[in-house]
Copies of this chain bind each other. A is one copy, B any other.
Amino acid sequence: MNIGTAAERSGLPAKTLRYYETIDLVQPLRADNGYRDYSEDDLHCLKFVGRARSLGFSIEECRVLLSLYRDQNRSSGEVKSLALHKVTEIEKKIGQLQDMKKMLSKLAGECHGDNRPDCPILDEIAGEQA
């Protein structure tokens, strides 16, 4: 199938499909006219990658997952370990964001937020109290 159809059916932009080809992630064949010709199997891989990306895996991680997926002899332990590692990464990121949020909420709570120029948020960012 042409790239437009593959894009629609995979839910990914055509630009992304071309990009995935340049980085050797999903390589469609070419038709006689030079158009990319995606097979059902290619489409399957595209969906797989799209889903893994939405779960927070990087392209390089997707490459590993894809090769594990294709390898009938892989051990599920490998995959599980990758998934759990990603979970701890995500937890760490969540923690950082929660810290930011907490501090920002606190600062906003201390700021009267009116037309007066006095602003505890800027003061604290500036570190005048630190």
Contacts and interface: CB of A to CB of B under 8 A. Distances in A.
Interface of A: 44, 47-48, 51-52, 54-56, 65, 68-69, 71-77, 79-81, 83-84, 86-87, 90-91, 93-94, 97-98, 100-101, 103-105, 107-108, 111-122, 125-127
B119 A76 contact: yes
Given A83-B111, A84-B108, A93-B97, A52 B125 contact: yes
22 contacts: A44-B126, A51-B125, A55-B103, A69-B126, A72-B117, A74-B117, A75-B114, A75-B117, A76-B112, A76-B115, A77-B114, A79-B111, A79-B119, A80-B113, A83-B104, A83-B121, A87-B104, A87-B108, A90-B97, A90-B100, A93-B97, A94-B101
Contacts of A127: 47-48, 51
Given A87-B101, A100-B55, A105-B87, A76 B125 contact: no
B108 A76 contact: no
Given A76-B119, A83-B111, A101 B97 contact: no
A112 B90 CA distance: 22
Nearest to A112: B76
A69 B125 contact: yes
